[in-house]
Amino acid sequence: MTTWYEKLAEYFPVEEMKSEKHMELLLREKSEIYHKDESNKHVLMYVETEDFVFVDYLFVSSEARGEGLGQKLIEELKKKKKPIILEVEPIDYEDTDTEKRQRFYAREGFNHAVSIGYRRRSLATNKVTELEILYWSPENEDEHSIYEKMKHTYEVIHTYKDKDLYGQSYEAVEDVLTLNSEQEGSTKP
């Protein structure tokens, strides 16, 4: 039987994956905000703070795709009435999954935070990955607020005990996340 971590590791690029030890530590030591929701058909890892939800990983098994499970999971998060933030790979037309993911989140009402830049070096491969920040907000939250919430997530979750876990630290938040206020609010998909 495949574990929840193995399901995630098979689906997500190594550059985007936290180690299993990292996630188990978050589940144990940050249990008030870091959560796992799983069934035999899905794995959802997310952060819930007082004022937002961050989707760390959402995996729906290929057998369950098309059943509306991903939509149901997102709907449950929307019921919390807080902004929902997540990171996605930019569309790569040679990888149809990236396009399907982006279309799924667009159908669910997520916006692309065009003013937020996100470039992170993987400690596993040393490769720099650019990701896009998507968000859904019940109150039309501005991108500056989403940026602040992403910084919090990066510092509290992504880099949690990184030196102990990986033998080195991730880059500082100001080197990873940028805010270009001139682009805020433009309507790039």
Q: Which CATH number does the domain housing residue 156 bear?
A: 3.40.630.30
Tell me: pLDDT of 60 over 90: yes
Q: Is residue 62, in this structure, part of any structural domain at all?
A: yes
Q: What DSSP element (H or E) covers 143? A: helix 143-153
Q: What is the pTM of this model?
A: 0.92
* Number of compact structural domains in the chain: 1
CA distance 46 to 58: 8
Q: Is residue 58, in this structure, part of any structural domain at all?
A: yes
* pLDDT at residue 189, rounded to an integer: 40
Tell me which residue range forms the domain holding 72: 4-179
Q: Is residue 185, in this structure, part of any structural domain at all?
A: no
Q: Give the mean model confidence (pLDDT) for residues 15-36.
A: 97
Q: Is residue 144, in this structure, part of any structural domain at all?
A: yes
* pLDDT at residue 182, rounded to an integer: 67
Q: Is residue 64, in this structure, part of any structural domain at all?
A: yes
User: Is the CB of residue 85 less than 8 Å from the CB of residue 54?
Assistant: yes
Residue owning tokens 């992170």: 120
Q: Is residue 186, in this structure, part of any structural domain at all?
A: no
CA distance 53 to 11: 22
Q: DSSP of 68-137, one letter per residue?
A: THHHHHHHHHHTT-S-EEEEEPPPBTTBHHHHHHHHHHHHTT-EE-TTEEEEEE-TTT--EEE-EEEEE-
Q: What percent of the chain has pLDDT over 70?
A: 92
Q: Is residue 189, in this structure, part of any structural domain at all?
A: no
> In the beta sheet, which residues pair with residue 34?
47
Q: Give the mean model confidence (pLDDT) for residues 118-140.
A: 93
Q: Is residue 108, in this structure, part of any structural domain at all?
A: yes
